[in-house]
């Protein structure tokens, strides 16, 4: 779960890393004041000429496809592949009927990935809404063992109208909402179930499935729970849990997020990363021995990336994390994701400007000092490029981008889902070269 790109002077401690709102910071929420309009902020600068991103990104990406379109979604993002990249799960705000306002929060969707006769991705079909209108949803993921099942964060019903996101008056601080109703739910998408049952040669008697096609809480604990993903054997999942820390001297409570593991067999919860501030957006390395995540624990309006080794019980479920290694120490860096080799991460960074986040790669080598870790810019386009992920076989990169033309009447292009074939190499040596 990964979102919010703060601009200078904004408050990132909460929402910056809130992947649940993926795209909100890219496409500013309706009704939120422009940051540039706040007192004391510099006037907006004229837009730079569009970048030739096909040329700039050559050697890394090819055969681009825009998977979601503004005609269907006001904004869409935070997208993930299933095991064989035949389906994706994503969150989006649908285009409302004429005269109606858009949904105030993201809904959850799945869609089938269509390919041509040569195997190239050409678009999406069977786009299916999973969550109920009015609910808030985020951070979808496919069960790697039972391919008919997904998990995601959902309030199921409309959340209470408190802590509404947006710029907070003259302070210029952007605040994000962490609804206490948000729980990790499990669900069987009907079209995905039909396809899997057909492949298995099993009878598709939907009358026998009861509420399988509706979201149901995997567990219920007090507070916001999201940013979830399964281990490869589905024995455990990792997630972010937010607690409200009382403020001092009359200050309001502040959210504090830590990383937790849920053991499926015993319904046991284990906190594996605890630190001040927001630690979230965890993902498990391809070999299952490490995690990556991001943290604002410095409290300096920036986010940094970390990796750590996992410690396991006799059932192969993590009991803790050790050997934490910080990868970055400047700018806002978020949405880290492993490449299939486990040798580097891709992530979104403000390194090139808070108005134009780009996808960057960095070595995930805990034996190297942070200053020696190699990085490489992946995307170079006008507008934000964020929330990157790879397919399991490393042939595709999918991300959220504003590189499409904007429509009439909108200030900037909408955030939509893009996909391209990855030709940057199968590991860190291919991507960064042989030089150590």
CA–CA gap between residue 178 and residue 406 (Å, rounded): 30
Confidence of residue 174 (pLDDT cuts 50, 70, 90): very low
Is residue 329 in some structural domain?
A: yes
CB 264 within 8 A of CB 283: no
pLDDT of residue 244: 84
pLDDT in tens, 393-423: 999 999 999 999 998 889 899 999 999 999 9
Averaged over 171-193, what is the pLDDT?
Answer: 81
Confidence of residue 349 (pLDDT cuts 50, 70, 90): very high
CA–CA gap between residue 354 and residue 357 (Å, rounded): 6
Is residue 8 in some structural domain?
A: no
Burial of 299 (0-12, 13-18, 19+ CB in 10 A): exposed
- Identify the CATH number of the domain in which residue 198 sits: 2.120.10.30
Is residue 323 in some structural domain?
A: yes
| Parent domain of 325 | 15-432
What does the block give as tokens for 188? Answer: 């069987």
pLDDT of residue 265: 97
CB 19 within 8 A of CB 387: yes
pLDDT in tens, 18-54: 333 333 334 332 222 222 223 344 455 666 677 899 9
Confidence of residue 250 (pLDDT cuts 50, 70, 90): confident
Confidence of residue 359 (pLDDT cuts 50, 70, 90): very high
Is residue 54 in some structural domain?
A: yes
Is residue 1 in some structural domain?
A: no
pLDDT of residue 51: 81
pLDDT in tens, 93-118: 999 999 999 999 999 999 999 999 99
pLDDT of residue 169: 47
pLDDT in tens, 63-90: 999 999 999 999 999 999 999 999 999 9
Is residue 150 in some structural domain?
A: yes
CA–CA gap between residue 289 and residue 285 (Å, rounded): 6
Query: 109, 11, 121: which is closest to 64 by C-alpha?
Result: 121
Q: Into how many domains does the chain fold?
A: 1
Is residue 94 in some structural domain?
A: yes
CB 362 within 8 A of CB 344: yes
Query: 379, 348, 347: which is closest to 363 by C-alpha?
Result: 347
pLDDT in tens, 265-324: 999 999 999 998 899 999 999 999 999 999 998 878 789 999 999 999 999 999 999 999
Say whether pLDDT at 16 is over 80.
no
Say whether pLDDT at 333 is over 70.
yes
| Secondary structure of the chain as H, E, C letters | CCCCCCCCCCCCCCHHHCHHHCCCCCCCCCCCCCHHHCCCCCCCCCCCCCCCHHHHCCCCEEEEEECCCCCCEEEEEEEEECCCCCEEEEEEEECCCCCCCCCCCCEEEEEEEEECCCCCEEEEEEEEECCCCCCCEEEEEECCCCCCCEEEEECCCCCCCCCCCEECHHHCCEECCCCCCCEEEEECCHHHHHHHHHHHCCCCCHHHCCCCCCCEECCCCCCEEEEEEECCCCCEEEEEEEEEECCCCCCCCEEEEEEEEEECCCCEEEEEECCCCEEEEEEECCCCCEEEEEECCCCCCCCEEEEEEEEECCCCCEEEEEEEEECCCCCCEEEEEECCCCCEEEEEECCCCCCCCEEEEEECCCCCCHHHCCEEECCCCCCCEEEEEECCCCCEEEEEECCCCCCCCCCCCCCEEEEEEECCCCCHHHHHCCCC
- Neighbouring C-alpha atoms within 13 Å toward the C-beta of 273: 34
Query: 403, 285, 275: which is closest to 341 by C-alpha?
Result: 285
- Please give the angle made by the CA atoms of 105, 106 and 107, to the nearest 5 degrees: 120
Say whether pLDDT at 60 is over 80.
yes
Average pLDDT, the chain: 86
Is residue 425 in some structural domain?
A: yes
Confidence of residue 204 (pLDDT cuts 50, 70, 90): low
Query: What's the first-to-final CA gap in the chain, in angstroms?
Result: 32
Q: Other C-beta atoms within 10 Å of 256: how many?
A: 19
Q: Which residue has the higher pLDDT, 436 or 376?
A: 376
pLDDT in tens, 186-200: 999 999 999 999 998
DSSP structure string for 49-94: PPP-HHHHTTTTEEEEEE-S-TTTEEEEEEEEE-TTSSEEEEEEEE
Say whether pLDDT at 138 is over 50.
yes
pLDDT in tens, 139-164: 999 999 999 999 999 999 999 876 55
Confidence of residue 248 (pLDDT cuts 50, 70, 90): confident
pLDDT of residue 59: 96
Averaged over 154-183, what is the pLDDT?
Answer: 70
Q: What values do phi and psi take at 429, rounded to 5?
A: -65, -45
Averaged over 246-256, what is the pLDDT?
Answer: 79
């Amino acid at each position: 779960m990964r979102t919010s790109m703060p601009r200078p002077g904004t408050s990132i401690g909460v929402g910056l890393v809130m992947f649940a709102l993926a795209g909100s910071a890219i496409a500013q929420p309706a009704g939120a004041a422009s940051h540039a309009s706040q007192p004391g902020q510099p006037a907006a600068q004229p837009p730079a000429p569009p970048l030739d991103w096909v040329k700039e990104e050559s050697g890394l990406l090819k055969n681009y496809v825009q998977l979601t379109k503004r005609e269907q979604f006001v904004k869409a993002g935070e997208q993930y592949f299933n095991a064989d990249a035949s389906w994706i799960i994503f969150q989006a705000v649908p285009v409302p009927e004429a005269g109606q306002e858009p949904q105030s929060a993201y809904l959850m969707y799945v869609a089938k990935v269509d390919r041509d006769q040569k195997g190239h991705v050409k678009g999406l079909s069977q786009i299916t809404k999973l969550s109920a209108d009015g609910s808030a949803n985020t951070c979808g993921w496919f069960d790697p063992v039972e391919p008919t099942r997904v998990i995601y964060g959902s309030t199921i019903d409309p959340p209470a109208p408190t802590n509404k996101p947006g710029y907070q008056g003259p302070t210029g601080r952007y605040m994000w909402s962490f609804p206490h109703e948000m729980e990790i739910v499990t669900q069987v998408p009907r079209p995905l179930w039909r396809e899997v049952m057909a492949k298995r040669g099993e009878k598709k008697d939907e009358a026998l499935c009861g509420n399988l096609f509706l979201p149901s809480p995997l567990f219920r604990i007090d507070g916001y729970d999201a940013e979830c993903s399964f281990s490869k054997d589905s024995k455990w999942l990792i997630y972010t849990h937010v607690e409200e820390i009382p403020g001092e001297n009359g200050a309001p409570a502040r959210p504090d997020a830590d990383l937790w593991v849920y053991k499926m067999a015993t319904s046991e919860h284990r906190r594996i990363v605890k630190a001040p501030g927001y630690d979230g957006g965890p993902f498990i390395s391809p070999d299952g021995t490490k995690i990556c995540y991001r943290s604002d624990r410095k409290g300096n309006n920036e986010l940094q990336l970390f990796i750590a080794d996992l410690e396991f019980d006799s059932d192969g479920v993590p009991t803790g994390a050790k050997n934490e290694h910080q990868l970055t120490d400047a700018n806002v860096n978020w949405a880290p994701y492993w490449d299939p080799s486990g040798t580097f991460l891709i992530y979104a960074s403000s390194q090139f400007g808070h108005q134009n986040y780009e996808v960057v790669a960095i070595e995930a080598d805990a034996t190297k000092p942070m200053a020696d870790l190699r990085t490489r810019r992946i995307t170079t386009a006008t507008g934000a490029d964020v929330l990157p992920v790879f397919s399991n076989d490393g042939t595709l990169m999918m991300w959220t981008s504003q590189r499409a033309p904007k429509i009439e009447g909108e200030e900037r292009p909408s955030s939509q889902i893009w996909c391209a074939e990855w030709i940057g190499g199968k590991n860190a040596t291919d991507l960064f070269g042989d030089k150590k």
